[in-house]
Amino acid sequence: MFSRLVALIFILVLNISCDFRSGRRTELLREMATDTVINYNAVDVYPLFLDCNNCDTSEKQNLCFEMELARRLQKAFEKNELGTIKMDSDTLIVDILVDAKGQISIEDIHKPKGLSNPIPELDSLLYRSVASLPKLIQPALKRGIPVNSMYQLPIVVSSSP
């Protein structure tokens, strides 16, 4: 009688422990499945100039990178003169690529139709300005792997009074 009671308790304990283990295993599998879903439209770490390394959050790092990129391009633009051309102000959009090696390049320039005639050398000025940026920066990272990232930079072109 005592041996039957011990055997029954042993079977119950074994059965209950298997339920806990399989529940834990199911939970681990569910966590692993959600961990493998990758959002390809966002990065974990944005590209960085050395000046932006001290930012504490990724949003601040992204804002710092964009502001530093705009500041450096504006500085490069100010070194070049386009001459005295009378024109209304207009905005063009420049697609800038930061590749996985940390190199910055222009992918495309979206200009309004009326802008290319008054300033024919604008494209070459943009390419020279981007070429004057630091050769290598820290690229964007996704799960610790360097990836390409694209930025659209609006540039307002106007004649100074």
pLDDT at position 124? 82
Q: CATH says 50-157 is which class?
A: alpha beta
Predicted pLDDT at 87: 57
**CA–CA gap between residue 17 and residue 10 (Å, rounded):** 11
Q: Is 33 exposed, middle or buried (0-12, 13-18, 19+ CB in 10 A)?
A: exposed
Instruction: Give 101-151 pLDDT, tens digit per residue.
Output: 989 999 998 877 766 555 667 778 888 888 888 777 888 888 888 999 998
Break the chain into its structural domains and give their ranges.
Answer: 1-37, 50-157
For the entire predicted model, the pTM comes to: 0.66
Most confident of 2-16, 67-81, 100-114: 100-114
**Per-residue model confidence (pLDDT) at position 11:** 78
Please check the confidence at residue 19 and state whether its pLDDT lies above 70.
no
Q: In percent, how much of the chain has pLDDT > 90?
A: 6
> How far is Cα 50 from Cα 116, in angstroms, rounded to an integer?
35
Ranges of beta strands (E only) in the chain are 90-98, 104-110, 140-142, 145-147, 149-157
| Banded pLDDT at 159 (limits 50, 70, 90) | low
User: Which pLDDT score, from 0 to 100, does residue 110 have?
Assistant: 85
Which of 64-78, 86-100, 136-150 is predicted most confidently? 136-150
